[in-house]
Amino acid sequence: MTPDDAAREGLSTSPAAYGARADEYTKLLGTMDAVAEDDRLLVEAWADRVDGVLADVGCGPAHWTAHLASLGHEVTGIEPVEEFVTHAHRTHPEVGVEPGSFQTLPVAAFNGILGWYSIIHTPPVEMPALLQRAHQALRPGGSLLLGFFAGEHVEPFDHAVTTAWYWPVDELAGVMTAAGFTVVDRGTRQDAGVRRHGWIESNRS
């Protein structure tokens, strides 16, 4: 598969592919029990630093959304896969979860946006526009936290659901800077038996 083929596949099949496997995904990864402790601590600390309304974009089954709400944060889940939205409404009726994506976010509506592995299927050619939308959706000084698969090069790989992309941390940070963000923290972690994890925290300049 060429990068162009992967880009077209990622654009066209991601919500449908997740919808077809929503039950399987939810059972395997749709609770906080499936979250690495280091990730939980990192996201909780980020949310505590944000003063105001949060959006969990690409929230999937909304386990992060519900967890952050349980800690006292005002948070809305945003999710393009209808099956995940339905699951969230049934399983976490105490939190708001709406259909949508980065591309549908309202302008200047949030103080913080969590994109925890919700950008991994975005083709690199589409990443600048996605980050610009995130920038527009944040209020001045707002924060964006991204989690993703870190690699040596920007390249596609065969994710269990549909094509995903590796990003070098510095390269993705550069795209974020070009979109108007100031990167304040970044890093990677390699856990046994899984792909390398990366994260970047940035503020709207």
pLDDT tens by residue, 159-190: 877 889 999 999 999 999 999 999 999 999 99
pLDDT at 153: 97
| Percent of the chain predicted with pLDDT > 90 | 79
Cβ atoms of 108 and 139 closer than 8 Å:
yes
For residue 86, name the pLDDT band (cuts at 50, 70, 90): very high
* Domains in the chain with CATH codes: 3-125+133-204 (3.40.50.150)
pLDDT at 104: 97
Q: CB-side exposure of 194: number of CA atoms within 13 Å?
A: 12
Q: To 10 degrees, what angle do helices 37-49 and 63-70 make?
A: 60
For residues 136-161, give the mean pLDDT.
95
46 — pLDDT class (breaks 50, 70, 90) = very high
Using the Cα atoms of residue 143, residue 147, residue 151 and residue 155 in order, give the sign of their dihedral.
Answer: negative
The reported pLDDT for the residue numbered 161 is 74
Q: Name which residue leads in pLDDT, 26 or 77.
A: 77
pLDDT for residue 89 is more than 70: yes
**What's the N-to-C CA distance of the chain in angstroms?**
37
> What local confidence, expressed as pLDDT, does residue 10 receive?
38
Nearest residue to 9 via CA among 136, 137, 146, 157: 157
This model's pTM is above 0.85: yes
Place 30 in a pLDDT band, splitting at 50, 70 and 90: low
Give residue 26's pLDDT. Answer: 65
pLDDT over threshold 80, residue 25: no
Q: For residues 27 and 82, what is the distance between their CA atoms, to the nearest angstrom?
A: 17
**Taking residues 73-95, what's their average pLDDT?**
94
Residue 5 pLDDT level (bands cut at 50, 70, 90): very low
Mean pLDDT, residues 79-92 taken together: 92
Q: What pLDDT shows up at residue 12?
A: 41
